Structure 1
Amino acid sequence: DTPTSVFETAYFQFNWLTDQMALGVLPNDADQYNSLQESLVEAFEQFSKEPIFHFAVMTDNEEDRGTTVYLMDCAVQAGHRVELLDIREIGIDAQGRYTDLQDRVIDRCFKLYPWEFMLREPFARELARSGDVFIEPAWKAVLSNKGLLPLLWQRHPNHPNLLPSYFADDPAASSLSDYVRKPLLSREGENVTIFRDGQEFVSAPGDYGEEGFMVQAYAPLFESDGGFAVLGSWVVGDRACGLAVREDRSRITANLSRFVPHVIIG
């Protein structure tokens, strides 16, 4: 819903790879699990080229704007006409359709703006009849809500790809001694707290938590001299196509955690 490391994954770490090969630091057959940009262009090709493809973001946020402009470039490579728009500049016409600053109807819009924020905006009343205007679609709000994790654990208890997870007020949560408490809507590690033996071990500040919390069994991150690393996998459409590595001295990955390029050497 807010893919703010897609630029680093698809573009910058690939440039790092080619630079290192050109310098002789890496062998010429070095590789990377990274077809993200090609996959994005192919995905944009699936949309009609007829309407202008709008891209909306809080333009005064440099990181979000840079990410959105990169995605616009992918859309241009796919043959689209594009227009950048500040999310606050979206209007509504007499028919309840979303419009841009030139009063053009917005038929297709990628927005780098969380759905839970969108639903609180004055124009949210028109979302129910907006159809498939927005990318990502509204159902992505389910995936960005950590309340999904306890529900998955209820449905698939002891599944090898899941960690025990409960809503914070569930009596079953007391069965965990080493766990992580997370706000349902937190991003970038904000307001996350790690507990060891039932005692607070490390926490991160932030502005989330009013929406409630869930708890999840603690799973230690990979640790090396560089700190603690977490892997992020990218899926475009229905295809896995990229790997991102974030690293930090803290056990909680946050907004300013380093992005570390990776390499595959046979």
Structure 2
Amino acid sequence: TPCFLIESYYANGVAANYVGRKHPNIECRKELHTFLKRMYDAVLSAKYGRNQYESMRANRESLPKNPFVFSCFHDYFEDYGTTQFLMKELKTACPEADTRFISFYDMKIDDEGIPLEDGSHATLLYRLHPMELLIDEQTPDGEPLGEMFLDLYEDDTFALFNPPESIILQNKSFMSLVYALYLTDQFFTKPDRDIIEKYLAPSYFENDFSALDDGLYIQKEIWGREGRHVQVVQKRGDTSELYMEKLVDNYDDIVCRDSKKVMYQDFIQQKRFTHTVDCGVKDGFLTLSSFMLGDQASAVGCRFSPEEIAGTEAYFVPLLIE
């Protein structure tokens, strides 16, 4: 989840310093800077050619304007804070970078890409907006805005961070695909299989549900977010009944693509934790996650929810080292 960046890369360290403890993300902000620097160089190397770009840098020749644009809906506080944080981290990693913020409300496209106020065009765009929603969006006049946007990207008028390929991982049925390939015993190497067996809950496509053994399974929309429509079902033969459901108060505020398909995973009972929050002591459950910088695991983060299926009600929990 992109909106856990600040907690993982920044706030976890603030909490650790406050209580005088070490924390697991102590080097991760440097990793983020290294990754952003690598991304910045890769985009400009692709635009100018590696040799020409290296020559420009070596000769201290000023590069033409290459705006790295960061964008979200500016009136959505969490997205705005996350986007500003990432933009400032890029500026720290690459002081020479021309970084700019544009609200989605003000963004336009033309035949050359994403035009800016000074007449230049964006070289790269970071957008805090789901690709699976952007694809279907239209202009007020009914034009296919998402398709035109992706056509411009395909024509190399600008780079995207994250790229459209990341939609593969956004779809929860990707876990079903990985598990199905794991079961074939022919696709993954032995080390890969050991990792999948240890860390991935058995996951299934919707069409395979009828063939599964009786028991408890968790059902998720393949494009779901924030716990919306997550259910635990009890399978008995050819029928299933609801065992537990995530009830979301702000259902209409959750921005996600409507899912016509679901996927299933074995239901695994979690450990209970007791935690002190702003309104007292509560029992609940932890969700641990890790950011990936390309293919490199980086900062870890922890959320605590009084509910077994976590959603927007979850609390941020700093991770400290004993």
TM over 0.5: yes
Structure 1 residue identity aligned to 2:103: D
Q: How does 1:52-131 map to 2 (within 5 A)?
A: 52-78=67-93, 79=95, 80-93=97-110, 95-122=111-138, 123-126=145-148, 127-130=150-153, 131=156
Q: Secondary structure at the match of 1:70?
A: helix
Counterpart position of 1:185: 223
Q: Secondary structure at the match of 2:312?
A: coil
Summarize deviations over 1:70-121 as a string: whole Å, max 9, x none: 001101102222111112322122x241223444311101111111011112
Q: Is the aligned partner of 1:31 residue 2:53?
A: no
Summarize deviations over 1:166-209 as a string: whole Å, max 9, x none: 22233445435211110111112111112356542322234665
Q: 1:11 to 1:171 in 2, by over 3 A?
A: closer
Q: 1:37 to 1:98 in 2, by over 3 A?
A: same
Structure 2 residue identity aligned to 1:85: I
Mapped partners of 2:263, 2:290: distance in 1: 23
Structure 2 residue identity aligned to 1:19: Y
Counterpart position of 2:304: 247
- Which structure shows the bigger proportion of residues in helix conformation? 2
Mapped partners of 2:302, 2:227: distance in 1: 15
User: Is the Cα–Cα contact under 8 Å of residues 7 and 67 in structure 1 kept in the other structure?
Assistant: yes
Q: Secondary structure at the match of 2:121?
A: coil
Structure 2 residue identity aligned to 1:164: P
Mapped partners of 2:178, 2:295: distance in 1: 20
User: Is the Cα–Cα contact under 8 Å of residues 10 and 35 in structure 1 kept in the other structure?
Assistant: no
User: Is the Cα–Cα contact under 8 Å of residues 12 and 319 in structure 2 kept in the other structure?
Assistant: yes
Mapped partners of 2:293, 2:214: distance in 1: 35
Aligned-residue offset at 1:214: 1.0
Aligned-residue offset at 1:235: 1.6
Q: Secondary structure at the match of 2:292?
A: strand
Count of residue pairs brought into register by the alignment:
256
Range with greater deviation from structure 2 (199-208 or 105-114): 199-208
Larger RCO (alpha carbons 8 Å, 6+ apart): 1
Mapped partners of 2:120, 2:28: distance in 1: 31
Runs of at least 5 residues in structure 1 that lack an aligned partner in the other structure: none
Q: Is the aligned partner of 1:17 residue 2:16?
A: yes
